[in-house]
Amino acid sequence: MNEHVEALAALSDLLLGRNVKRGRHELPEDLVQSFEEHAVRLGFQRLTVAEIPVDVGTRVGAWCFRPPVLQFGMVFWEVFTVRSKRKLFASELRNERGDWVVQIPASSKETLLVNLDLTETYDASRPVGIY
């Protein structure tokens, strides 16, 4: 099996969360070009946070791809009170203060790679540590 095919298989595992910690990854230069095409073959599409259809109590994993860096996170509604909430992408990784390393609000035009078939439910009343 050639190295590129093996690398794409590893990317599949990473994208789909199969036996791999997703977090933050830096892609080798030779995979940057083929990464997005491979993600599309796996059912991912480019959408903004605003375009991703999630309600309170649902979330979907997404990838923020700023070549060569990939950051995994979730798109969900952060609920502060009954009347106060915001939809955002929040990276899995946090900084030393506990804030998400990457936060992308619904007002951003930046697109994420997301597979809507991987949308899941969760208890929205839990504190912000949703992972």
| Cα R_g (the chain), whole angstroms | 15
User: Tokens 């979730």 map to which residue?
Assistant: 74
| Contact by Cβ (8 Å): 61, 72 | yes
> Phi then psi for 65, rounded to 5 degrees?
-110, 105
pLDDT computed for residue 126 by the predictor:
65
CA dist., res. 86 & res. 34, Å (int): 33
pLDDT in tens, the chain (131 residues): 577 677 778 788 888 888 777 889 998 888 888 888 889 999 999 999 999 999 999 999 999 999 999 999 999 999 888 888 999 999 999 999 999 999 999 999 999 999 999 999 988 776 554 44
Interatomic CA distance for residues 102 and 90, integer angstroms = 6
- Domain definitions of the chain by residue range: 3-121
The answer, yes or no, to whether the previous bond of 68 is cis (omega within 30 of 0) is: yes
